[in-house]
Amino acid sequence: MIGSAVLRWTCCLCTVGQVVRTLPEGPPVHGVTSLADEVYVVRWKELDQVEVYDVITYRLQRCLTVPNLRGITDMTSCEHCHSVYIANNVDKCIHRLGVQGAVTRWDVGDKPRGLSVNAAHNLLLTLREVRKIKEFSSRGDLLRELKLPDDVIHPWQAIETRNGQFIVCHGDLGDVVHRVCKVSGDGRHVVHSHGGQRGPGSGQYNVPLRLAVDGNEFVFIADINNGRVTLLSPTLEFIRYVTSLDQLKWHPVRMYLDAQRRRLYVADNEWKDGHYTAGRAVVFSV
């Protein structure tokens, strides 16, 4: 009998990312997530609003107002806490949005970049400039703070694994190293890594900006300047590309995995004349 782990590996190898739906094109998308049978999209625009779509029909249901919503760097959600979280890089805070539209916020002391929720239903913030991970409760209480290893330069996002380690993506345009790595639970050591010198090869990245991890700890990476999403094994070995050039016409800048429905939401933004000019959210079946 073939073991379940082998079956999962085989299925992951054979699965091809298919486009299920593309949400309407408009201003650049700076966050996408799903919660309670709905998809939440936040765009870079003057109105302080979050668009809410039905998760089955993908029709726009309503828009929720979040006061002082600016400097958006990421968005994620927690089914357990019935909340959507939005990172605000200008005010150095987190906006918490309830499914009924209630909004609260708390200060985090640094500029937040990537967001994720761990198994304890706490919010993890990746702080690019100071190379740290901060963990907050759903009410905004600071629970712990970890300093990342010295060779993890410009981290974008961190996701905690079941055994307490962290998957981290890092590397900006001026950096020598662009990679995805697994860091020990105390934040001191790199355990595994994939990537290295910036480039277009299957073992390379050109600004790996966002991560998603499924229930079996396979890792999806939004490789922004290579214009693709890459899939790695739980030990960070290359498996395949999830997206093709004809599926993403711009740059994958944000990403969220609905593991239950096997839906990968990718924010695909146009870069023109030094800034993002348009965007859309592409829904993949994975």
At residue 208, φ and ψ (nearest 5 deg) are -75, 100
Q: Find all residues with CB under 8 Å of 186, minimum gap 6, and list them.
A: 146
Q: What is the tens place of the pLDDT at every residue in 155-203?
A: 999 999 999 999 999 999 999 999 999 999 999 999 999 999 999 998 9
| Cα–Cα distance, 11 to 9 (Å, whole number) | 6
pTM of the model: 0.93
Contact between 166 and 157 (Cβ < 8 Å): no
Beta bridge partners of 124: 116, 135
| Cα–Cα distance, 73 to 165 (Å, whole number) | 24
At residue 123, φ and ψ (nearest 5 deg) are -95, 130
Alpha-carbon distances of 131 from 66, 86, 195, rounded to whole Å: 28, 20, 19
Around Cβ 24, how many Cβ atoms within 10 Å?
Answer: 11
Q: What is the tens place of the pLDDT at every residue in 118-133?
A: 999 999 999 999 999 9
Q: Residue 116: its pLDDT value, please?
A: 98
Contact between 123 and 108 (Cβ < 8 Å): no
| Cα–Cα distance, 138 to 142 (Å, whole number) | 10
Q: What is the tens place of the pLDDT at every residue in 51-110?
A: 999 999 999 999 999 999 989 999 999 999 999 999 999 999 999 999 888 999 999 999
Nearest residue to 113 (alpha-carbon basis) of 207, 216, 48: 207
Contact between 269 and 29 (Cβ < 8 Å): yes
- The strand order across the sheet containing 123-127 reads 115-117, 123-127, 132-136, 142-147
